[in-house]
Amino acid sequence: MAFADQYRRPADLPSRLPLFPLRGAILLPGSTLPLNIFEPRYLEMIDDVMSGSRMLGMVQPVGAEADESPLGKSVELRRIGGAGRVTSYQELDDGRIGIALTGISRFEIVGEAETGKSYRAATVSYDKFAGDFTRGLGEEQIDRPRLVETLRTYLEEHNLKTDWSLIERAPSEFLVNALCVMSPYGPEEKQALLEAADLKARAEILIALAQMESATRGGSGGTLQ
């Protein structure tokens, strides 16, 4: 069975997820998030994940004063996160583990779940995000030329290069979600991208963020005017 065919509806995902709280990190459907795991609590979590559903949830802690990945279980977490499956796993020589998560759906935390372990877990619901299970939903509403030109302007202003043949071939949903996950914006901006009502709204937020940064840097903003 193909990877995407395993997850067609909310009931196909576990209602309880191990959580990886990490400031500035989000996961969206179809996107890939690479992670280096080295803390004992998360090494334990990955061991459990790999022997089970291979699913975990990425979620941001609340508040600018929170550590990047807070210790303990008392720090408040955002209610909305992203569920992903471990699709790549590598044990490294220094004891770290390198993984890649592929996003499947966003979720809402319903309540904290006791694990008896050093890591956190939650009971979650995917019902608000049923559209995440329909690949390509809303792609036709995206102003793709504007999105691509915005990306071009952003890369030029930051002296970055990319493989444009890959960009041109990428589905709009993948392009938008991947750019959101890889973007260098702060926790609040990342959360806004994650919680956008639909793909069109997410693309518009992404374009607006690029516009604001371009204006701050003194750029022309390209087609964002």
Q: pLDDT per position in the chain (225 positions), as tens?
A: 556 678 999 999 999 999 999 999 999 999 999 999 999 999 999 999 999 999 999 999 997 666 678 777 888 999 999 999 999 999 998 889 999 999 999 999 999 998 899 999 999 999 999 999 999 999 999 999 999 999 998 888 888 888 899 999 999 999 999 999 999 899 999 999 999 999 999 999 999 999 888 787 765 444 332
CA distances from 86 to 50, 83, 146, 170 (A): 8, 10, 33, 22
| Pair 86, 50: CB distance under 8 Å | yes
Closest CA to 122 of 134, 133, 108, 135: 108
Query: How far, in Å, CA of 21 to CA of 17, rounded?
Result: 12
Q: What's the DSSP call for residue 91?
A: E
Coil, helix or strand at residue 162: coil
pLDDT for 214: 78
Instruction: Please name the helix (run of DSSP H) or strand (run of DSSP E) that holds residue 163, with its range, or none.
Output: none
How many Cβ atoms are within 10 Å of 12's Cβ, its own excluded? 13
Q: Where in the chain is the domain with CATH 2.30.130.40?
A: 4-133
pLDDT of residue 1: 54
Radius of gyration of the chain (CA): 18
Name the phi and psi angles at 17, rounded to 5. -125, 135
pTM: 0.91
Assign domain 4-133 to its CATH superfamily: LON domain-like (2.30.130.40)
Those residues with Cβ within 8 angstroms of residue 6's Cβ, 6 or more apart along the chain or in another chain:
12
